[in-house]
Structures are given as structure tokens and as C-alpha cells.
Structure 1
Amino acid sequence: MSGKGPNVGIVIVSHSPLVARGTADMVKQMVGDSVPLAWSGGNSHGELGTDARGILKAIEEAWSDAGVAVFVDLGGAETNSEMAVEMLGLPRSKQVAICNAPVVEGAVIAAAEASGGASLTKVVATAEELSPS
């Protein structure tokens, strides 16, 4: 961690556990343990899909007082991530951002930004610059 306080946490959400775990592995190789990191992949039965409770658990694992940026692969992942953020409750839900960015590239770039102590707003903005308009 930087001397400025905690770094923004990163959560990767994918319909595929392999994609989520693989992306988290890439992020960890890039930034080591300097950024809180967790992933959620698949539904509650271990099949393709997403699960709001699993996403909530990942947000809690990657929790940082600096905030948490969540990266999702498809629409259902975004919907379940929004539900997980609601389940987190106030005031912490205000410190979670679901990013409109490519999941792999966005998570890696965001983690690099977060590892330098950037704010949640800066981390999200940097990742979202990767999205086509």
C-alpha cells in the first residue's frame, strides 16, 4: 500500500468462474498484494451465470475504505452487481462503483492506477477511458 492510506479494491465479476479467476490472477501478477482483490464467477450452482450473494461476498473481501471498483462481463453480471451493492447497504454502497469498461483490460489498468494510491473516481475514469463511446 502507498503511504497515503488504503488503495481502492478491485472486484471482477464474470459469468465464467475461469474468466473471473484468470482475470484476478492477471491483476495480481501486475500489482501483487498492493490492491485488495476478489472475484466472483458463475452462479450459486457452479454453472455459467452470476450470483448477487457471491458478488456481495467478493465486494466484502476486496473492501477498502478508499472504495471498490467492480468490473463485469455481461448485462446479467451488471444487474447482479447492482443488487449486491444494494445488499451492502448505506453508507458503504456509496463507495462502490460498477465500471463501464472491458473486464480484463479495465481491471488491469484500474489496479495499476489503484496501486499508486489513486481515488475511486480516478480509478474508474481511467478504466472507462478504454470503453468505446
Structure 2
Amino acid sequence: MANVSLVIVSHSKQLGEGLVKLLRQVAPGVDIHEAAGLGDELGTDATAIMAALQQCPNTHDILVFFDLGSAAMNAEMALELVPPSVAERTRIVDAPLVEGAVAAAVAARSQLPLDDVMQQAETARIMQKRLG
């Protein structure tokens, strides 16, 4: 299986859960976690992100995808809370949440190297969705 885990950080619990469900269907076997929402409220929480990071296998690199700027800020705070062995294998990806995560999940499923998985995710920013 892939040696890359994905962590989805969203302000919306429903969006995070729905995206994880989609990713697990398009890339079965890839390790995927979510840290989304604040119960019934919108928001993100550094301690929830920290917990998701720590659920990833210790043999995996970790890519964090986020929806809005404050989610990235909380992901950065989470990296300060986790042990160095987790932080050093984690990268926060600057890519569109849905398209980037899908591209990364498919690349991880194909067992591409980490840099290629990240490149696939980041390239999703310029992906044309419509033909013609």
C-alpha cells in the first residue's frame, strides 16, 4: 500500500467527512484522516488536527490539505504540538482542497514518491475542469 497518509482539515464537518468518503472510494487502501468542524459549528481545532496526525502510521509521510487560511494556521499550530517524529514527516499542501486531495490520493494509491504526490496535488490548482 501507499506510504503517504492524507489529513483533511475543513471548517465543515460534513465537507471533511464527505471528502474522506470520496477519497476512500477513488483510492482504496490509502490512509486518510479528517479533522473537520467544531461539533455542529464551523471551524478548525489544532488539537483535533494533532490527533489526526498522530493516527497516521509512523512509517508514512503525511500530507495535510485545508480549505481556508485559518485551517492552515491551525495545522501549523498542530505541528508544534506533535512529537518531532510526526512533524518532520508532515507537509501542509498548498492546493485546492477537493481537487488536490483527489489527485494526491490517486498518486499515493499508485505508490508514487512523496514529491510526485505533492506535485500532483499542487498541479490540481491549474487543472481545467471543462473541455472546450
| Structure 2 CA distance for partners of 1:104 and 1:29, relative to 1, 3 Å | same
TM-score scaled by structure 2?
0.88
TM-score normalised over the length of structure 1: 0.88
2:84 aligned residue (76, 79, 90): 90
**1:7 deviation in Å?**
1.9
Gaps of 5+ in 2: 127-132
Q: Confirm or deny: 8 A CA contact 2:58 2:86 kept in the other structure.
A: no
1:52-67 matches, cutoff 5 A: 52-67=46-61
Structure 2 match to 1:39: 34
Q: Could you tell me the percent identity over the aligned residues?
A: 37
CA contact 1:110–1:123 (8 Å) conserved in 2: yes
| Contact residue 8 and residue 65 of structure 2 kept, 8 A | yes
Tell me, yes or no, if the aligned pair for 2:103 and 2:124 is still in contact at 8 Å: no
Cross-structure match for 2:6: 10
Greater RCO, 1 or 2 (C-alpha within 8 Å, sep 6+): 1
Per-residue deviation at 1:123? Answer: 1.1
1:109 paired to 2:106: no
Q: Deviations over 1:63-85 (max 9, x none)?
A: 35230111000011000001111
- Give, as a single letter, the amino acid of the residue that structure 2 aligns with 1:41: A
